[in-house]
């Protein structure tokens, strides 16, 4: 099997490798308007599996889906001071509609806290209406000056959850529930990506939030990627939009809110966390094709046998593609399936079949094994589970290897050149954070020493994870 | 059970009844920017079921989902003359992004033929790449001067399919396949709405198409609603975007294309086709709650029995909600479930239980029946099938009753005041079509006498269905 070196090796130039994978595996292309993105079918199919896994967990958390308008009156954004300050540099503004100049320009939603609170204020009347838990799957637009496909695009797809609660504690608990049981769980169990769940520093908070939780993953080059955030909004939006409720004792109070989102950036995380020099490596849970059955040569009944195996594997519940394009060289096809990241390959050829076996190849570690034909279904199921676990283990091993305990700001900055540095938050503080930022290093999150979530930045004994980040 | 007359009766004022249902059943609200829409959770859940049914059939037709950008350079739209003429009065234009005026204004997609052809031109090289079958689920914007929730909104949600074929015949066959096996089948078997599948006249074609197929439904007031269209685009877009392929004989040819879409307008169709004076009536296939188990009073073990029945019905695969809010009057709750359109209600009260029965109520015909507790699961399953069929039968009966054979233009115009008129297309022609349009009556579609699809407008013996329309 002759492999062409079609991708720039990661060690040589990681960003270029990323671009190569995105292009060669036909995942995405730049849109004609700067910063926008075309998501091609293979990547979109992965996104559909990611969506389904998230959506199920979101609904299990009691949330109902809804849809709010793309267009938001400009004045809505101005109501919350920090929010407008954070988002106005990124807004796309519609000034003409239906052939006329609009009396009031409208913005294309960068996020929907404002417009949703406009409705929450009408819908929430009494404590009986709480908690009110909504989510939407939507596109949002944030004008991006340094776009990178999936990671930072002017338009992206996401889900945004928005909730109202009667008490601050209930809102806090809910924001943590989403962080842990929707985001961290999906990232770990579905995307096979270990993440650090922690608290953002004040400087890294969402514009308008009182607290932001985050899930931070380590990519293949040791840099961090913020993969999802869950925010406590306090009463900030409730106060400016008048979202109040009648308590069970007859008082009028403002609701406590949360908002939380993950986006198509998760596709970038999958590529950069698991990809290798041969291309994408997809966790079986989100692979559009979990098993590629490759017919080597259509001789001595191998074609029929390959087709029968594909049928058997499909019946066992796997997503299977039969590749019987024997007019294309076997090596070329094998390289293509590797590039696309398909977790398991079953190679069916007349020579192996004469010995009663097929070849089973795992994408996570490249292992090849002759497997008796009759055992294929069982062995494929085992291999899929092994790939799902193997990708997680490799990612965790990399993170462990590249996470360094740092005793000072300088040590932290040094360690952050190749991975994460763990440093006492008390030794950094706001000033240390600013100093690091000058060198492109940021505090990704704060955790307690035991990995738990801090109640605030001022707690004793907090650990800061610092890194370069996408 | 005391019913409040909460909805304007349909016979009194159908448009007002529609608004009432949309508001009182909490389906949607107007957005703050004129013409936009908030889709509330109950209606959005229906949309998710509609989407799932469509998406499965679209994938079965060999199509892969993808995503193309919201923003389209203005110049793209100008390339196809009829297309830009049709859409420019409806465009929303972004002139500012990232705090600066844009050098080139961009339009918010009203539909995506142009931007998708920009990529098709790159992706299609040879006959081996054909057919190329893509679809996207997306929001689109068409500035609407007379908005009506779900039916005509400035922003709406839809799917748009776009395909490339090697021959005109293949494109034509595919456009018909989508019309019949995706659209007509979903409308009939899932939404329980009988539709007329036919050909649009030249005047009613999609801007840029060579032929448009349509599915037309009759609403409760006898008016028509265009529920979905499937277009042959010929080589119109291929020629202006240069979408060519190398044939197997080595020639360069332009591809033949189709595009096709259905939208959240289908929610309007469900409301107007099936709704009655008590509210929505949902076909079980798309009802977020198929069975409401209503506890009448929590006495004599009725609460436990109701909960156990709900569990049993859920285990049987139905979507069930247990309504044990006995602090709200039973009549009020029953009216609410009727308003929301839930197909089957199981009322569980101590009096019935003492006789070993519960009451089963069908939403399609209001029938109430005492059913032995032990038979509930079987009877509910039967009732759900009966409601699905019953709603279709009622809609078909109305259409049959309100469709009149007309011998002349005047008779057709008269009949169209209350329903559909069937008239010989040869007796109308373009002139007749224009004359009818003056009175707000349009040719909804052309069919052959046997109901089949015409190959063109000039065929002998074609029948025109004319009606007032939404």
Question: pLDDT tens digit string along B338-390?
Answer: 999 999 999 999 999 999 999 999 999 999 999 999 999 999 999 999 999 99
Q: Which two tokens stand for residue A122?
A: 């009408």
Per-residue pLDDT reduced to its tens digit, B382-436: 999 999 999 999 999 999 999 999 999 999 999 999 999 999 999 999 999 999 9
Nearest-angstrom CA–CA distance, B223 and B18:
13
CA distance A254 to chain B (A): 22
Place of tokens 């989403």: A178
CB A322 within 8 A of CB A345: no
B33 vs A: CB within 8 A: yes
- Total H helices, total E strands in chain A: 15, 23
Task: Name the pLDDT band for B3 (thresholds 50, 70, 90).
Answer: low
| Bridge pairing between strands A442-447 and A463-467 | antiparallel
**Taking the model in full, what pTM does it have?**
0.97
Q: In angstroms, rounded to a whole number, what is the distance separating the alpha carbons of residues A418 and A202?
A: 25
Tokens of residue A121, six digits: 């204020």
Q: Which of A67, A144, A340 to mutate to test the interface with B (most CBs of B within 10 A)?
A: A67
Both tokens of residue B70? 């919201």
CB B464 within 8 A of CB B446: yes
Map residue A260 onto helix, strand or coil.
strand
How far is residue A72's CA from residue A265's CA, in Å, rounded to a whole number? 24
**Measured between CB atoms, which of B105, B106, B143 is closest to A98?**
B143
Structure tokens at B420: 């559909």
Write down all domains in chain A, each with its CATH number in brackets.
14-274 (3.30.930.10), 288-386 (3.40.50.800), 403-467 (3.30.110)
Work out the number of other CB atoms within 10 angstroms of the CB of residue B157.
21
Could you tell me if A73 lies within 8 Å of chain B, comparing CB atoms?
Answer: yes
Residue B145, judged by CB atoms within 10 A of its CB (0-12, 13-18, 19+), counts as exposed
Count contacts between A and B (CB, < 8 Å): 158
pLDDT band at B1 (very low <50, low <70, confident <90, very high): very low
Decide if A444 contacts A428 (C-beta within 8 A): no
In chain B, which residues have their Cβ closer than 8 Å to the Cβ of A118?
32
In this prediction, residue B82 carries a pLDDT of: 87
Question: How far apart (Å, rounded) are the C-alpha atoms in residues A130 and A238?
Answer: 14
What pLDDT is stored for residue B4 in this prediction? 56
Considering only residues 99 to 138 of chain B, which have any Cβ-Cβ distance to chain A shorter than 8 Å? 99, 105-106, 108, 115, 118-119, 134, 138
- A37 interface with B at CB cutoff 8 Å: yes
Residue A393 CB-density burial (10 A; 0-12 exposed, 13-18 middle, 19+ buried)? middle
pLDDT tier for residue A1 given thresholds of 50, 70 and 90: very low
Task: Kindly give the pairing relationship between strand A320-323 and strand A344-348.
Answer: unpaired
Tell me the nearest-neighbour CA distance from A375 into chain B, angstroms: 30
In terms of Cβ atoms closer than 10 Å to its own Cβ (0-12, 13-18, 19+), residue B451 is exposed
The partner residue sitting opposite B98, judged by closest CB among A99, A106, A145, is A145
Q: Taking CA B157 as the corner, what is the angle to CA B205 and CA A157, rounded to the nearest 5 degrees?
A: 130
Q: Does the CB of A145 have a partner CB in chain B at under 8 Å?
A: yes
Asked if the Cβ–Cβ distance from B69 to A32 is below 8 Å, we say: yes
Is B29 part of the contact surface with chain A (CB cutoff 8 Å)? Answer: yes
CB contact under 8 A, A69 and B155: yes
Establish if B89 touches chain A: CB-CB under 8 angstroms. Answer: yes
Distance between CA atoms of residues B297 and A332, nearest Å: 70
Q: Strand pairing of A420-424 and A463-467?
A: antiparallel
Give the per-residue pLDDT at B84.
87
Chain A residues with CB-CB distance to B30 below 8 A: none
Residues B48-77 have a mean pLDDT of 97
User: How many Cβ atoms sit within 10 Å of the Cβ of residue B92?
Assistant: 25
Interval B90-108: pLDDT, tens: 999 999 999 999 999 999 9
Q: Is the pLDDT of residue B122 over 90?
A: yes
Q: In chain A, which among 219-238 make CB contacts under 8 A with chain B?
A: none
- What contacts B423, CB < 8 A, 6 or more positions away? B405, B406, B407, B408, B409, B411, B412, B463, B464, B466
| DSSP code string of B205-256 | S-TT-SEEEEEEEE-TTS-EEEEEEEEEEETHHHHHHT-EEE-TTS-EEE-E
CA distance B162 to A157: 20
Q: Specify the pLDDT at position A76.
A: 95
| Alpha carbon of A123: minimum distance to chain B alpha carbons (Å) | 10
B52 touches A at CB < 8 Å:
no
Which 8-state DSSP code applies to residue A148?
Answer: B
Flag whether residue A157 sits within 8 Å of chain B, measured between CB atoms. Answer: yes
Report the chain B residue with the minimal C-alpha distance to residue A117.
B32
């Amino acid at each position: 099997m002759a492999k062409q070196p079609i991708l720039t090796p990661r060690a040589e130039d990681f960003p270029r490798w990323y671009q190569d994978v995105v292009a060669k595996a036909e995942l995405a292309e730049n849109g004609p308007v700067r910063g926008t993105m075309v998501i091609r079918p293979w990547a979109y199919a992965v996104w559909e599996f990611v969506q389904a896994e998230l959506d199920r967990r979101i609904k299990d958390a009691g949330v109902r889906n809804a849809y709010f308008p793309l267009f938001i009156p400009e004045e809505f954004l101005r109501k919350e001071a920090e929010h407008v300050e954070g988002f106005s540099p990124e807004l796309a503004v519609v000034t003409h509609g239906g052939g006329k100049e609009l009396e009031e320009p409208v913005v294309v939603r960068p996020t929907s806290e404002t417009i949703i609170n406009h409705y929450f204020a009408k819908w929430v009347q009494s404590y009986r209406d709480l908690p009110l838990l909504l989510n939407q799957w939507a596109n949002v637009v944030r004008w991006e000056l340094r776009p990178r496909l999936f990671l930072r695009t002017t338009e992206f797809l996401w889900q945004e959850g928005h909730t109202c609660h009667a008490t601050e504690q209930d809102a806090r608990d809910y924001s943590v529930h989403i962080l842990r049981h929707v985001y961290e769980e999906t990232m770990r169990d579905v995307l096979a990506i270990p993440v650090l769940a922690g608290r953002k520093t004040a400087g890294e908070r969402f514009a308008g939030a009182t607290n932001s939780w985050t899930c931070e993953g380590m990519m293949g080059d040791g840099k961090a990627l913020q993969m999802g955030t869950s925010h406590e909004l306090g009463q900030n939006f409730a106060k400016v939009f008048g979202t109040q409720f009648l308590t069970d004792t007859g008082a009028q109070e403002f609701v406590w809110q949360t908002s939380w989102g993950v986006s198509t950036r998760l596709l970038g995380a999958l590529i950069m966390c698991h990809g290798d020099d041969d291309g994408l490596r997809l966790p079986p849970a989100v692979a559009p094709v979990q098993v590629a059955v490759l017919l080597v040569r259509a001789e001595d009944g191998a074609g029929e046998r390959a087709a029968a195996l594909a049928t058997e594997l499909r019946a066992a519940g796997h997503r299977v593609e039969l590749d019987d394009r024997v007019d294309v060289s076997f090596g070329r096809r094998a390289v293509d399936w590797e590039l696309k990241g398909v977790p398991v390959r079953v190679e069916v050829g007349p020579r192996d079949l004469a010995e009663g076996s097929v070849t089973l190849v795992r994408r996570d570690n490249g292992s090849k094994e002759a497997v008796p034909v009759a055992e294929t279904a069982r062995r494929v199921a085992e291999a899929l589970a092994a790939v799902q676990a193997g990708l997680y283990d490799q990612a965790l091993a990399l993170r462990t290897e590249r996470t360094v305990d740092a005793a000072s700001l300088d040590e932290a900055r040094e360690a952050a050149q190749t991975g994460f540095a763990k440093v006492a938050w008390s030794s950094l503080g706001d000033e240390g954070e600013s100093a690091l930022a000058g060198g492109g290093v940021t505090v990704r999150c704060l955790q307690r020493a035991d990995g738990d979530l801090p109640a605030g930045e001022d707690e004793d004994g907090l650990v800061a994870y610092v890194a370069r980040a996408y």
